[in-house]
Every structure is written in structure tokens, then in C-alpha cells.
């Protein structure tokens, strides 16, 4: 695509001395008010160098560049050169970019194949996979898609919470009160009930605690019976998680969770000791980070068992050695900020220079209208139930809107739109903000929601169906495209948003912020709908029709590619 800022800088460079093209390019602005032009060049800074009043400089530049075919109009206003790009040129340039790149529009090769790890979701096995987990799962998946589009080689890791003393308790409880059939029928709820029962019983029978600890030690030593039970709990839990991942269309390259590092920690415990970073305290091993305002990090307990952070130290090293990552990204709630700060500090004290490439991407809490969740009080909202409810509610809305649609069509659409709505809602706000999950907001077809964007995509598809294959294929091939017909305000605004799309994707990647993409595709959808209402698209004038259909096709392409970056499908009909 033409880089307009660069083209403008080249032209201006011919009329000012002593400035590099790249310096000029950095000074070119995009005015807030489109009346001030598509681009503007402020001349204040040049006054000193050129020893001339800024308005005079602006006047000289404006006169110098105004004849170029890039522009429709160039004006000097005070110290500014305001430039209006030739709409025809701009629109036809954008269209040829979008329509030749198609599914690849928005992608780039800036990553140059460098390896980026995105770790996300990472639930704890035998614990509910609840609505709180949706954030890491969905934000992480979108960050993966964005980095993939930017030309990185992405490795998706699910760092399962599948290790720790709680498994001693669970096995202990299972042996006392457990039942195989119940676990198979409903693994997570059943295992959780054992875990809860253990905590009740241990009040009366403290010896259960010793028993659980012994069991965990056996597990750590890889004893057959304990390992088999643990493995079984893990497999059954994963089956439940996978059901949810399938609904969301999410996959991973690796499920190397905490247990994977159980034999990889001693090396680092030793290294921490040898380098004098770790000290003993009441039989435990700690790293004192008080001087950095980060408290105390517990590395091993007095009984020798390791902790969450110990496994994260081993995991980061394993990832560096295995993948030689360029970036190692952790999409984990902001509640764990201190954990990640301690962990990064320890990696840096150990002298690993790649610590700077390890990035914690935090996000805020999700709460429910009915009040906060609490596992202890049984106020758990399972993610799977939320997704099913979204599909159900969407089906009702669609049935109401299309009383004649076939039930198979409705099934498929309800899934795409219902689940998409939940995903979109997750990615709508700045990730760091806490937010309240509200059904009305999620499923509103007219608001700034997933259904709205998907519906707009389906609307584009419907226009194309009506236009007919012949016209669409000519438009797609830019055959006889006359962009004169695309200079109206609404067409031009839409083209401008399309032009910005690749920049938006790069920006979202740099900031680890999918909501930047979400907002932009809402803008595109709104802009398309304005165009759709303002203009008669399928006119009798063949040339005009082809031009307009090309713009519809381009908008559809951008919406589809944008939705894909969020992990959503783009339905052809709704």
C-alpha cells in the first residue's frame, strides 16, 4: 500500500533544506478534524533552521507541492500545510491492496519468523473452569493470532496447574470417600467435592494431613499407584477443558504444565544457592527481595517441596533452551502481578539477560451482575454453562428475527454468533480494566458488539449475493474499476479505515491489546453501514456498481480478517 506519509515527506523534502525524509515523515500529522486535511505538516520547528516565519515557510511548501497528482488540494493555514489526498487515487490504492491480499490483508512479515511464546488459559486441573478463566483464554488466543499475522512463529502453551500438595489431599480424599463412576461422569465437580470434603474432615482428623503429605511425597517420587491416580485425574479434567476449548475454537501446541517441571527444578534451586541469592529461613529456602520492595519469595518449603514460583523459574529456562524465544508472553490475571515481578527479579539476579524478553500481560477481573464469584460459597459460574447459555439466547433472538430459517442453519449461526458474542465482549475493553459481565450488553445486535460486527459482515455478503457472480468477480479483479464513484464522504471514510487496518494490527501486537482491533472493526462496521444507507450500491450503471461492490468486498474482507484475529468466525448469513 502507498505509504502516504512517506510520499508526502519525499515531496516536502524537495522544498526544505537540511532535513532528512525520515525526519519530515515523523513530523507529518493526521489532523483530528478532516476539514484540516488528511495530512498536515506543521512548520514551527523549521523557523529556527530556516530563519523564516513559520507561515511563510508553510506557504512556500504549499505552493511547491500543490501541483502533484497525489493531492486534490493543498492549503497553507497559519503555520500548517494542510494536504488533501486525491480521493480517487487513495481509494483505488486501498482497494487494490485489500482485494489482492484478500485473507492476507492486515498481515505483515515484520516478525521475520522469530519465535514468540504465548502462554494462556493455564487452568488448574480438578478445579472448575469458570467464567474467570475466559479472560486469559480469549485474550491469549487473540494475542497469538495477532503475532501470527505479524509474521512471528508462535508457540502456544497451556501451563496447566497440575502439580502441588493439593493432589496429595485429593488422592487421600478419593481413597477414603471416592467413587470411580462419579469421577468419570462429572470429573471436575466430583474431584472438587472430594477436595472440599477433605478440608472439612481434616478439622476433626488432623492425621489426614500427614497422610496427604505422604501421598504427595510418593507422587513426587513417581510411585506407581499415586502417579496413575494423578494421571487419571489430569486426563479427566483435560477432557472437560478440551470441550470448552473446542467450543471456542482454541488449540495449543503444548500442555507442558507445572508437573512437567517437577524434575527440572533442582538445578535452579542449586544455582540460586551457589550464587548466594537464596537463604535458609526456618528450614525453608527463600529469596529476600525486600530491598526491591517485592517481599519474600518462598522457593522450597521446610519439607523440601517446591512452589509455584520455583516451577516458573524452571519453565522459563526450559522455554529459552527449547525454543530460543524472542519473546515469552504470559497472559495471566493482574492478581498475580507480584508473583511475576518476583519471578522476573529472580531471573535477573541469576544473570539471565533474556529476562527482559519475558513479559507478563496482565488483565483485570470479570465479575457478574449477581455479585462476585466465590468457589468457597459455591457461587461458581462454569465457562461451559455461559457459552451454552449464549448459544441458547442467540438462537431465541435469531428465531424471532427469521421465523422461516431452517433449524440446521439456525444451529450453526447460533453457535457462531453466541460464542462469538462472549469472545468479543471479552476483547472489547482495555484488558487491564475490571468489567461486569452483562447478558444484555453481550447479545445486543445493535450495540458495539460481536453480533453487530458479524451481522454487518453477513450484510456485506448479502449485497454481494444480490450483485451476482459476474459483477463480484469483476470487482474482485479490479477490472474496470473507476474510483470516481467512491469519493463520497461515506465511501472515503470507509476507505480510510481500511487503510489503517494493518497499522492497527501492528499496534495491537506491540501493546498486547486485542481491544485495539476490536474497536477498529466496530468502526469499520459502523462506517460500512453508513455507506450502505447513504448510497445506492446496486445501480444500473455497471461501472458505478462494480466500483461500489469492490468497496463492499473490501469492507467484508477487513471485517472477516479482523474477526479472525479475535478468534471469531464471520458468518455469510445471519
Cα separation, 532 vs 537, in Å, equals: 7
Of 61-69, 116-124, 246-254, 492-500, the window that binds ligand ARG (rule: CB under 6 A) is 116-124
How far apart are CB 285 and ligand ARG at their closest, in Å?
Answer: 19
CA-to-CA separations, 187 to 27, 179, 259, 373, in angstroms, rounded: 60, 11, 19, 21
Q: Cβ closer to ligand ARG: 236 or 448?
A: 236
- Our finding on whether 156 is near ligand ARG (CB under 6 A) is no
Q: Is 161 in the site for ligand ARG (CB under 6 A)?
A: yes
Give the whole-angstrom CA distance, residue 253 versus residue 119: 10
567 touching ligand ARG, by CB under 6 A: no
Q: Does 330 bind ligand ARG (CB under 6 A)?
A: yes
Segment 472 to 501, residues that bind ligand ARG, using CB under 6 A? none
Q: At 224, is the secondary structure helix, strand, or coil?
A: helix
CA 335/CA 330 separation, integer angstroms = 13
Which one of 130, 520, 545, 560 is the catalytic residue? 130
Provide the minimum distance between the beta carbon of 325 and ligand ARG in the complex, in angstroms, as a whole number: 14
Smallest Cα–Cα separation from 567: which of 423, 461, 382?
A: 423
Determine which one of 133, 344, 457, 548 is catalytic. Answer: 133
- Cβ(437)–Cβ(368) under 8 Å? yes
Q: Are 533 and 78 in contact (CB under 8 A)?
A: no
Given the complex with ligand ARG, which of 99 and 117 has the nearer CB atom?
117
162 contacts ligand ARG (rule: CB under 6 A): no
Question: Shortest Cβ distance from residue 122 to ligand ARG (Å)?
Answer: 4
CB of 407 to ligand ARG, least distance (A): 39
Binder of ligand ARG out of 106, 123, 164, 509 (CB under 6 A): 123
For residues 52 and 16, is the Cβ–Cβ distance under 8 A?
Answer: no
- Segment lying near ligand ARG (by CB under 6 A), choices 122-130, 321-329, 500-508, 560-568: 122-130
Q: Give 366's DSSP letter.
A: E
Cβ neighbours of 208 (radius 10 Å): 18
Does the annotation mark 127 as catalytic? yes
Q: How many residues bind ligand ARG, per CB under 6 A?
A: 9
- In 3D space, the residue among 248, 131, 231, 233 whose CA is nearest the CA of residue 186 turns out to be 233
Helices (H), 66-205: 87-101, 134-149, 166-177, 180-185, 187-204
For 423, residues 6+ apart whose C-beta sits below 8 A from its C-beta are 138, 248, 450, 566, 567, 568
Taking CB under 6 A as the binding criterion, the range among 89-97, 115-123, 189-197, 271-279 that sits at the site for ligand ARG is 115-123
Nearer to ligand ARG, 261 or 532 (CB): 261
Q: State which of residues 62, 215, 278, 332 lies at the interface with ligand ARG (CB under 6 A).
A: 332
> Distance (Å, rounded) from C-alpha 216 to C-alpha 166?
8
- Give the span between the Cα atoms of 377 and 368, in whole angstroms: 15
Q: Which of 89, 101, 114, 127 is catalytic?
A: 127
Nearer to ligand ARG (CB atom), residue 152 or residue 330: 330
Shortest reach from residue 344's CB to ligand ARG, in Å = 12
Pick from 209, 169, 216: nearest CA to 193: 169
Q: Which of 66, 108, 124, 529 binds ligand ARG (CB under 6 A)?
A: 124
Which position among 130, 135, 156, 159 is part of the footprint of ligand ARG (CB under 6 A)?
159
Site for ligand ARG in 406-445 (CB under 6 A): none
* Nearest alpha carbon to residue 528 among 501, 504, 507, 508: 501
Total residues found in the chain within this entry:
574
Return the residue nearest ligand ARG (CB atom).
Answer: 161
Rounded CA separation 85/562 (Å):
26
Burial state string for 312-348 with b = 16 or more CB within 10 A and e = fewer than 16: bbbbbbebbeebebbbbbbbbebeeeebbbbbbbbbe
Mask for 280-319, x = binds ligand ARG (CB under 6 A): --------------------------------x-------
Which one of 121-129, 226-234, 321-329, 415-423 is the stretch in contact with ligand ARG (CB under 6 A)?
121-129
Q: Which is nearer to ligand ARG, 85 or 160 (CB)?
A: 160
User: Which residues of this chain interact with ligand ARG, rule CB under 6 A?
Assistant: 119, 122-124, 159, 161, 312, 330, 332
Please identify every residue annotated as catalytic: 127, 130, 133
Amino acid at each position: 500500500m502507498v505509504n502516504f506519509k512517506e510520499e508526502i515527506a519525499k515531496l516536502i523534502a524537495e522544498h526544505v533544506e537540511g532535513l532528512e525524509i525520515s525526519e519530515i515523515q515523523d513530523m507529518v500529522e493526521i489532523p483530528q478534524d478532516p476539514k484540516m486535511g488528511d495530512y498536515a505538516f506543521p512548520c514551527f520547528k523549521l523557523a529556527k533552521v530556516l530563519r523564516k516565519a513559520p507561515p511563510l515557510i508553510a506557504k512556500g511548501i504549499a505552493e511547491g507541492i500543490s501541483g502533484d497528482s497525489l493531492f486534490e488540494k493543498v492549503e497553507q493555514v497559519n503555520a500548517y500545510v494542510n494536504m488533501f489526498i486525491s480521493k480517487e487515487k487513495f481509494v483505488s490504492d486501498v482497494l487494490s491492496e485489500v482485494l489482492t491480499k484478500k485473507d492476507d490483508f492486515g498481515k505483515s512479515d515484520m516478525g521475520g519468523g522469530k519465535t514468540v511464546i504465548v502462554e494462556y488459559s493455564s487452568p488448574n486441573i480438578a478445579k472448575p473452569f469458570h467464567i474467570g478463566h475466559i479472560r486469559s483464554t480469549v485474550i491469549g488466543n487473540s494475542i497469538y493470532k495477532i503475532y501470527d499475522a505479524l509474521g512471528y512463529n508462535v508457540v502456544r502453551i497451556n501451563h496447566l496447574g497440575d502439580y502441588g500438595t493439593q493432589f496429595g489431599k485429593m488422592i487421600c480424599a478419593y481413597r477414603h470417600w471416592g467413587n470411580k463412576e462419579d469421577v468419570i461422569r462429572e470429573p471436575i465437580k466430583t474431584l472438587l467435592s472430594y477436595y472440599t470434603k477433605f478440608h472439612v474432615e481434616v478439622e476433626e482428623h488432623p492425621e489426614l494431613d500427614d497422610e496427604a503429605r505422604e501421598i504427595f511425597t510418593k507422587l513426587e517420587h513417581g510411585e506407581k499407584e499415586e502417579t496413575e491416580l494423578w494421571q487419571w485425574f489430569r486426563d479427566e479434567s483435560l477432557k472437560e477443558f478440551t470441550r470448552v476449548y473446542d467450543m471456542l475454537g482454541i488449540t495449543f501446541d503444548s500442555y507442558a504444565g507445572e508437573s512437567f517441571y517437577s524434575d527440572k527444578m533442582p538445578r535452579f534451586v542449586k544455582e540460586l544457592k551457589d550464587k548466594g541469592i537464596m537463604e535458609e529461613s526456618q528450614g525453608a529456602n527463600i529469596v529476600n527481595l525486600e530491598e526491591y520492595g517485592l517481599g519474600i519469595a518462598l522457593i522450597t518449603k521446610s519439607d523440601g517441596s517446591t512452589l509455584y514460583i520455583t516451577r516458573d523459574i524452571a519453565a522459563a529456562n526450559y522455554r529459552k533452551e527449547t525454543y530460543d524465544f524472542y519473546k515469552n508472553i504470559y497472559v495471566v490475571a493482574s492478581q498475580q502481578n507480584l508473583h511475576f515481578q518476583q519471578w522476573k527479579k529472580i531471573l535477573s539476579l541469576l544473570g539471565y539477560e533474556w529476562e527482559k524478553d519475558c513479559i507478563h500481560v496482565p488483565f483485570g477481573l470479570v465479575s457478574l451482575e449477581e455479585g462476585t464469584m466465590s468457589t468457597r460459597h459455591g457461587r461458581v459460574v462454569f465457562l461451559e454453562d455461559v457459552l451454552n447459555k449464549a448459544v441458547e439466547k442467540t438462537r431465541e433472538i435469531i428465531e424471532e428475527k427469521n421465523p422461516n430459517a431452517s433449524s440446521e442453519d439456525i444451529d450453526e449461526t447460533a453457535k457462531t454468533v453466541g460464542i462469538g458474542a462472549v469472545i468479543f465482549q471479552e476483547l472489547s475493553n482495555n484488558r487491564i480494566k475490571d468489567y461486569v459481565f452483562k447478558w444484555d450488553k453481550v447479545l445486543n445486535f445493535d450495540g458495539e458488539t460481536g453480533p453487530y460486527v458479524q451481522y454487518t459482515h453477513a450484510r456485506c455478503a448479502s449485497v454481494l449475493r444480490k450483485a451476482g457472480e459476474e459483477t463480484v468477480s469483476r470487482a474482485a479483479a479490479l477490472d474496470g474499476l473507476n474510483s470516481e464513484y467512491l469519493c463520497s464522504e461515506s465511501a472515503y471514510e470507509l476507505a480510510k479505515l481500511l487503510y489503517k487496518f494493518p497499522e492497527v494490527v501492528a499496534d495491537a501486537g506491540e501493546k498486547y491489546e486485542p481491544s485495539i482491533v476490536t474497536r477498529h472493526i466496530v468502526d469499520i462496521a459502523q462506517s460500512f453501514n453508513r455507506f450502505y444507507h447513504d448510497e445506492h450500491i446496486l445501480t444500473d450503471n455497471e461501472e458505478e456498481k462494480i466500483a461500489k461492490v469492490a468497496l463492499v468486498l473490501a469492507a467484508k474482507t477487513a471485517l472477516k480478517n479482523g474477526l479472525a484475529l479475535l478468534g471469531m468466525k464471520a458468518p455469510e448469513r445471519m
